[in-house]
Every structure is written in structure tokens, then in C-alpha cells.
Structure 1
Amino acid sequence: MASRVLVVGSGVLGLRTAVELTRRRIPVVLRSPVHPLHPSNCSQGAGGLWMPFHCDDPRTDRWAIETLDEIYPFAVDEENLLVRLQYALSFKRTHEGPDTEDFLAKDYHKGTGGKSQLPSWSTDDRLKFQNMTLEQVAWQNIVYKLKLPSLSIAQGAGYNHAWFFETPIIDCPKMMESMLEEVDMDPNDVNVETGVYYESIHQVLEEAKSLNCDAVVNCTGLGASKICQDSEIIGGRGVLLLYDRETCVRLPHPKAEDPLLAAPPEQLHDACIMVESSPWGSDEYPCYMIVRGDTIVVGGTYLEGDDEPAMRPEERKRLLENARILGVDTEASKPKGEWVGHRPYRPVTRCELDSEVSNNGLKLVHCYGTGGSGWTVYAGVAKDATDLILAPM
């Protein structure tokens, strides 16, 4: 069992792993190039929507549910500001034709004898997940009263059904601050230092020895490409426009096209919208809106291997069009900011003991590569990494 652990990396995985170790009464040393709360930290700018996205590891759904178990109590606590429940709508066009409702009943619902095309996480009752035609969404929304794009325009674009569910949205900056406060308050006097860069895993291990640590958790994300010579880790570049939730003006809905107009605009509630199929979106250029705390986040991109650090003019133009499609009056509302980040994607998340390096009383566990699902799986991954650290050699 480790007596003192060096955690390298201060993104959501590194910080949550440090929290997990302190909760199990293990002293921690945290080292990172940037401060956990610095805007350049990729975990700071993420949308925070709980939903597995671009993480292909077979453990993803388990990690996601373990994370849901942790954040759901916050989400249903009306006085808590770290996590909020929001309704989410993901437009789909996997089937076209007049028999769409029959298709949904036969191929998507339980008990049909066929293989479900829905993700396994959708069966969790807390999400209130439904797969329905857009006509059903419109009639349901008489009850939910959500700010949605024009469903008739979406239908005209070829979308004929949608995933409709309720999901936690994490206010990422606030959650990072909360986790850092928990680490700082640990009675074992956690040692946190930023501005520290490592050139190799050998240097990390030497640092651990000098700090009297007998274990290391490597949460360096994209940095593992250099430190570990890991050719499988790659950045999935994302771009966002940020709108102020209070002042963002929403477009009025068409007067006679959608039943949701039973409610006046001022009585409608915000919702998260996702589209990953043409013509509005694609795998590389998803179109989405996430309501996070006092901010409305509009995205985006998922461009693997694209290292550009700034927003390109054509990307800004496309995001403005996404905002318009999803219901923002882009003439009356201007973004309050923009963000560019690089998600650390790996075909299989590296959450494992490095048996080749772990010797002479020093244990090394790698913990990185969750792609676009960092905030969806972070608690589950951190617990697995900690279990590996505490397991006997």
C-alpha cells in the first residue's frame, strides 16, 4: 500500500485522483505545468455535459455511471451550484420514411428481441431517457416548455427523431475550484506546486524518489505523448463560443408550426441541444448548445491531430451559424468569449499499472486518454487509478 503519492497533472483526472487519494488518507504531492484553475487548463473550458462522447474504451459506461452516482446528488440539490439537471435533446436521422414510429417501436425499444441501437447508459432511470419522433417531442414540450430550435425546420433538414433525456451539467470551473479546496483542506498537508515540466517518465520517477513518494499517478493527458513516448495519444481539438445566459436573446419560434408555442417565450426553460449528423453537424463538426451555470456554450469541433491554439475565422463564422440554428438571436446577442481546447484522446484509455517500470518499491499508474468524456467519466477513472495504487504488488 502506498504511503505517499506523486500525482502529475492538474486536469480533472489528476485533481479528482488527488481528491480520491486524500479521501483514503494517502498523502499526496501534486505537480503540474499549469494551475488547476488556469483558463488554459483544458478541463476549465469544457461544456460539462454528462454523456459519453468520443471515448471508445470498453470501461467507459461503467466509469460514466460511477461518475453519475457521484454527481447526481449534487444535481438534485437545488441549493448546490456545482451541478444542475438540464433536459437535453439530441437530433437523429438514422431512419427516414413514413414508418418512423414503427421503426422506433421495433428497433429501439426494449423487449423486441433485436439488438438495441441505444447506448447502454440510456437505461439508467435517473436520465428519464426517451427516444421519440420530433412530433412526439413537440407535444411533450407542451409540458416541458423548453427553448428548442424550430422542430419543423429540423424535420425539414432531415431529422426525424431525437434522444430526449435529463442529464447533469457540471459547472467545470466551480467543480475544479471545489476539488482544489478539498485537496488544500486535507489534514495531511497536500503539497501542490505548478509550473513544473517533465521531459520523461524517468524524470518523473526520479522526482518521486526525491519527494519520498513510493507511487506515481501519471495524469499528464496530451503531455504523455512526450513524457511516455506514447504515439497513441492525440488531441481532439474543440472550439466554443460563450454567451451570457442572462442577456442572451433567443429567437422567437414560428407562430403556427410548433405546439410548444402554447407557452410564452418568457416561460420557456433552457435546454441542451446536440446534433452530430448532417446537415447541421457531423462527427468532426458537431453542432451543440450546453447550458452551464451562467454561461451558454455553443460548439464545436472534434478535430484529431489539429494543434491550432486559436479560433480560426471560418470556425467562428460556423459557430455563429450553429448558435443561430439552435435559437440564439445572433444579431442581438454577442458572445462574451471564446475557447479552444484539445481533448486527450486515446483508442483505449490508459488507466493501468505500468508493470515494466514499477519496481524497487516504486509503483507507476497511468491515467489519461478519455477523449471527449473527461467530465463524464472522471470519478470512475480516478477511483480505478487509486485502486491500482493501493493494490498489493
Structure 2
Amino acid sequence: MDGGKRDVLVVGGGVIGLTTAVVLAEDGHRVGLWTRDPLGRTTSAVAGALFWPYRIEPEAEVGAWLERSLSQYEQLARRPDETGVRIVPGLMTDTPMTDLGSWAARVPGLRQARGEELPAGFGQALRATVPLIDMPVHLRYLKERLRAAGGTVERRTVTGFEEPAELAPVVVDCTGIGARVLMADASLYPVRGQVVVVENPGIDEWFVASLPGSADMTYVMPQPYGVLLGGTATEHSWDLRPDPAEAEAIVARCARIHPALAGARVLEHRVGLRPARPRVRLEAETLPRGARLVHNYGHGGAGVTVAWGCARDAARLALDS
């Protein structure tokens, strides 16, 4: 990039920031991305990363984001080793078909599960074949794709958006839970998620169950590196330390679905903070010195699911003068 000048600086190195930066760079703009944390230590790196809307509003806009993102992930799934995206079948329990939006019509083979397909104790589920993403691989892929398009990635910590605004006329805020402090956004709060990664005893389908009103969830996500078991959804908790009791409970819940998991060797414990908000903040404002600031944060537990759709809308806002 000539003289290090940028048309846009994206702040935030999770899946939302990287995807937004890729869209802008591939549209021909000079893009830099600043990330406080290494990509492997962002909240996105911890995600179960099943393509399914979870804790995200507004419903009227989510449908379009989902459809655009699904199309992108289907293309990326043609090269799973490179992109980390695979198309995997599984069961989503206690979710009526009528609760889904128009995006569901694009999911091939989506149907009610038959009785013999349901684990004991479950009376209803949807059977679906959707993208499941290996996030460490996918984040590296996005980083390399950004660089291939002429973008740069730099480790930088900011205390506000004035600093990047001095270096680029457009700044995109993809700081996730960090926006609570950076934007003094009290409506943004963490939803703590803990997961356990174990060796795969032969599971090749995903499974999700959640109990309304409970912080406990049960999900099983077969990944190339093992099986990711979840999980928790503890609101307003900032604790990034794995809780041994929670980990034990997670494995026990998942073992009721797949008994072989009870004896599987534990490989890793992970904790992340989902950036929850009454609705995604996707809008632009003008900073005091004239730079354009675009916000793209507050995606709850669906950041991976809507990343490409939100990135396209954020890019449009960034360049709409």
C-alpha cells in the first residue's frame, strides 16, 4: 500500500472484523485491520461455529444476513481443508419449523426428525445439513485472504477511535464485547460460554439442545481437531477461567447423548464471551473531525453465522458518502 495509507481501518480481529476487512479489500479498497489479541485468542476462535441463528436480533434483518452468509459458506465448503468450512448433518432439538425464517428454505433437506432419530428424552427436533466451521483454520484463512487482497493485519490496542481516524477517513468498529468500554455501550453485555474439547470416539454429526431460561446447553460439534462439547450461556459474567465443575457437567450432559464421550480424553478447555445486545449495532456516524465510523458489533452467539451478510452491509455503510 502506497505510503501505508488506508482507505479503511477495521478495528477488531474476530470473524466479524476479518470478514468485513476481506469484503472491503476485495472490493478494491486499501484496508488495514487492527486487532488487540492474536487471532487464535479472540472470542471467535472459541466458537462452536455451527451455522444457526442464536441470540441475535433484529429478526427482520437477520434473515437477509443469514441467506447471504449461507451462500458464502456453501462456496467455502468446497475447499474444507483450506477454509475450515464443512457441510455437516445434525439435530437441532425443540425448535419448530415455524420458528425459522425464510433462510431455512435454502437449507437442503431440512425436515422434522423421525422418532427413531431422537435421543431418549427428546420429543422433537429438526434434521438439517448446514455449515460447521473449524474456527482456528477459518480465521487463518480469512487473514491470508485479506493479505492476498492487499490488506494488512497489525496487533494494536486502542482506547478510542480517534487514533485510527487520524490514519484513515473510514473506521469500522468490529470490537465485539470491547465496544462496551470503547463506545460506553451499556446495552452490550457478555454471555459467557465454556466448552470442552475431547478426542472423537467416532461422532460425525452435530447435536444441539438448550433449555429455555437455563444457562446450561448441550451441544456436540465434531471438528477435525476433536469433538467440541458445550456448553454454557451465563449472562453478565466476565470470567474467562474454565470452571472444572462446569466442564464436568458439560461432558456429562453430552455423554447422555453419546455415551462414548464419557470416557473420551479431554484435550482442551475453552471460554469465550459472546457480545450480546438487544439488537446488532450496524450503523454509521461521523466523528468530530469528520471521519466516518461504522459500527458492526453485538452479534451475540451468531457472529460466525451472519458474518458475511453483516460484512456486506457494513462495507456499504463505510463507503456511502
The 1:161/1:206 distance shift into structure 2, 3 A limit, reads closer
Report the Cα distance in structure 1 between the residues aligned to 2:154 and 2:80, rounded to whole angstroms.
35
Q: Number of matched residues?
A: 316
**Are 1:230 and 2:185 counterparts?**
yes
Q: Which structure 2 residues correspond to residues 1-393 of structure 1 after superposition, within 5 A?
A: 4-36=7-39, 38=40, 40-58=41-59, 59-76=61-78, 82-92=84-94, 117-121=98-102, 123-135=104-116, 137=117, 151=119, 154=120, 157=121, 159-187=122-150, 190-194=151-155, 196-200=156-160, 204-209=161-166, 211=167, 213-245=168-200, 248=201, 270-277=204-211, 283-330=214-261, 332-354=263-285, 357-358=286-287, 360-392=289-321
1:122, 1:55 → 2: CA distance? 14
Q: Output the amino acid matched with 1:286.
A: M
| Structure 1 SS opposite 2:278 | strand
Structure 1 SS opposite 2:21 = helix
Q: How big is each residue's C-alpha offset from its partner over 1:184-220, in whole Å with a ceiling of 9 and x where there is no partner?
A: 2234xx34221x22223xxx224321x2x11110111
What is the letter of the counterpart of residue 208 of structure 1?
A: A
Q: Is the 8 A contact 1:48 1:292 kept in 2?
A: no
Query: 1:126 corresponds to which letter in structure 2?
Result: V
Partner amino acid for 1:183?
A: L
Equivalent residue number for residue 258 of structure 1: none
Which secondary structure does the structure 1 equivalent of 2:195 belong to? strand
Contact 2:190 2:276 in 1 (8 A): yes
CA distance in 2, matches of 1:239, 1:295: 16
Aligned sequence identity (%): 26
Give the distance between the partners of 1:288 and 1:132, measured in 2 at CA: 17
Instruction: Give unpaired runs (5+ residues) of structure 2.
Output: none
Does the C-alpha gap of structure 1 residues 20 and 231 become closer, same or farther in structure 2, counting only changes over 3 Å?
A: same
Change (3 A) 1:25 1:276: same
- Deviation by residue 1:54-73 (Cα, 9 ceiling, x = unmatched): 11222122111110010112
Taking structure 1 as the reference length, what is the TM-score of the superposition?
A: 0.75
Q: 1:11 to 1:80 in 2, by over 3 A?
A: closer
What CA deviation, in whole Å up to 9, does each residue of 1:214-234 have, x standing for no partner? 111011111111111000111
Contact 1:240 1:339 in 2 (8 A): yes
Q: Give the whole-Å Cα distance in 2 for the aligned partners of 1:3 and 1:27.
A: 5
1:118 and 1:31, CA in 2 relative to 1: closer, same or farther beyond 3 A?
same
CA contact (8 A) 2:17 2:174 kept: yes
Normalised TM-score (structure 2): 0.91
Distance change in 2, residues 1:331/1:192 (3 Å) = closer
- Residues of 1 paired with 2:233 and 2:138: CA distance? 24
> What CA RMSD, in Å, does the superposition of the two structures yield over aligned residues?
2.2
The superposition leaves residues 20-58 of structure 1 with CA deviations (integer Å, 9 ceiling, x where unpaired) of 11011111121121122x3x2111111111000111222
CA drift of 1:181 comes to 0.6
Alignment partners' CA distance in 1, 2:269 and 2:292: 40
